Structure 1
């Protein structure tokens, strides 16, 4: 659980907070007392190309509700992070309102509907337009956001940039079975490394973080289950046994943001399971799933072990 008040007085921007990991990160930062600007494309008036019903306004309300005891609050700002002027306006608003930005979480994605694997994902068959759109959604958005946000974040030492991806640097040495997806999910790891080099002289830190097998709203719907009965999906995909709720990676980001020695992680690729062991937080069920170690050792390595050994 995020420590109440640990981030009081801090200002965060979670870019791509409409649902899933981004929403949970924003909520946990709010639990810890931060003022959290949440941005995304889907509003109560208009859906993005992903077509899901979750809205950025809902996320803002959830952050404020979660922060009642700590003073945390959510501020929803509909933003398309492929539109530089919209991102500029968002950062300028944060500057006008607070004159500071302490935490930037680059979680923009919105490419789930573009991802396919198998023979259809080969360069010779996968549509070029879809592949380039995936790269724009998952890479260009992060670059645009950092370009405008970093001057404010680096105005004083202690700022933290969190790049969000799928897969650790070690795991992503494996080909991710779709070249565009592989590029999109490896890019944030290199962004965190490069930004870490640039920011360390300014007293700021950049890291990359990945959840494990995430029980996002999208994934639960794909398997026809809910957060309450998610284990029924293990019959379809056995590896789902090591899945985690979005809250888990949300708590990981809140723990990083509250760590006075966060610079020890500068430039590194991190995971929710790894950080749970360091900081002591748990998922909502009280366990500490370590999905990437399970996937490497059991799914790919053939080790005879159940998921309980990785919690």
Structure 2
């Protein structure tokens, strides 16, 4: 495999402003891809998330610095006309789409863990479903006609948890639906894409050290371990680079169709492809959560890195 196996390939990372989406875009760029990055936060305007420190323009610049070509296109993925215009631009400029990553979310500020379904404000709950399910459906509907022109296209649905780990209740009715929806979408799209040689999977990071999560704990990536005293589970957290490398490895694999319909994690893909997190470790967050947090085993977090 070459250092840039995705040279000549066109990818779209929908929801690439920050976190997993940004890291996936950068990793695809490092593999040589042209990466269209979308989101609602630009240098001129912030989304409802309210963060101005990360923008799609910055993500595109990071993609280019990594060795690819980053192209920022402000897009609200709840607006079909905007998504259609985005896809038309990709078609006009590149004539192909090889990889679609559906990472749109931005609903953390809406989640109220511990509240019953009927205690959750209906509008908040429905907004979560719009951001996590409706956006993905709109984007796939608009982008797949371009992606399936050539055999071998890849769709990655980014979510939180795998089909196995999400058998347990995710602590909030709407959040549970929001994070299980992309898993089922990948399964269904795998069936639709089978006849045209396409692949669809869902991919989850573990305990992600996103920009928002680092801010929540009052730390930076350089000193993230200082937050372990506040939340011991943070000891098995992973940087966004880990899931970014997972998706890039998957996209670079000519035999990736063997995964179609599957629900995968950054750790499971690291086991297959041999990459590590930015610090050289291989954090198994979901294993730790299953065995220690939920299962009661007395095993140090270091054993899961």
- In the superposition, the TM-score normalised over structure 1's length comes to 0.97
Among 246, 256, 262, the residue aligned to 2:250: 256
Could you list the per-position Cα deviations for residues 105-129 of structure 1 after superposition, in whole angstroms to 9, with x for gaps in the alignment? Answer: 00000101101111xx212211000
Distance 2:2 2:158 in 1: 22
CA RMSD of aligned residues (A): 0.9
**Is 1:156 matched with 2:155?**
no
Structure-1 residue corresponding to 2:60: 60
When residues 229 and 36 of structure 1 are mapped into structure 2, their CA distance, relative to the original with a 3 A threshold, is same
- Within 5 Å, which residues of 2 pair with 1:19-58? 19-53=18-52, 54-58=54-58
**Is 1:116 matched with 2:112?**
yes
- Within 5 Å, which residues of 2 pair with 1:221-232? 221-232=215-226
Structure-1 residue corresponding to 2:266: 272
Structure-2 residue corresponding to 1:281: 275
1:3 is displaced (CA, Å) by: 5.8
Among 165, 174, 177, the residue aligned to 1:183: 177
Any stretches of 5+ residues in structure 2 without a counterpart? Answer: none
1:260 is displaced (CA, Å) by: 0.6
3-state SS of the aligned residue for 1:235?
A: coil
Distance 1:303 1:126 in 2: 33
Distance 1:124 1:97 in 2: 48
Among 194, 202, 212, the residue aligned to 2:206: 212
Structure-2 residue corresponding to 1:105: 101
**Is 1:234 matched with 2:228?**
yes
Distance 2:286 2:120 in 1: 28
Runs of 4+ residues deviating >6 angstroms:
none
Could you list the per-position Cα deviations for residues 250-280 of structure 1 after superposition, in whole angstroms to 9, with x for gaps in the alignment? Answer: 0000000000100000000000001101000
Conservation of the 8 A alpha-carbon contact between 1:3 and 1:31: no
Distance 1:306 1:272 in 2: 20
Structure-2 residue corresponding to 1:294: 288
Distance 1:83 1:76 in 2: 17
1:4 is displaced (CA, Å) by: 2.5
Could you list the per-position Cα deviations for residues 3-56 of structure 1 after superposition, in whole angstroms to 9, with x for gaps in the alignment? Answer: 621100000000000000000000000000000000000000000000012111
Any stretches of 5+ residues in structure 1 without a counterpart? Answer: none
- Within 5 Å, which residues of 2 pair with 1:79-94? 79-94=75-90
Among 88, 92, 95, the residue aligned to 1:96: 92
How many pairs are equivalent? 304
Conservation of the 8 A alpha-carbon contact between 1:14 and 1:38: yes
1:244 is displaced (CA, Å) by: 0.1
When residues 167 and 3 of structure 1 are mapped into structure 2, their CA distance, relative to the original with a 3 A threshold, is farther
Structure-2 residue corresponding to 1:4: 3
Could you list the per-position Cα deviations for residues 135-159 of structure 1 after superposition, in whole angstroms to 9, with x for gaps in the alignment? Answer: 0011100000000000000001010
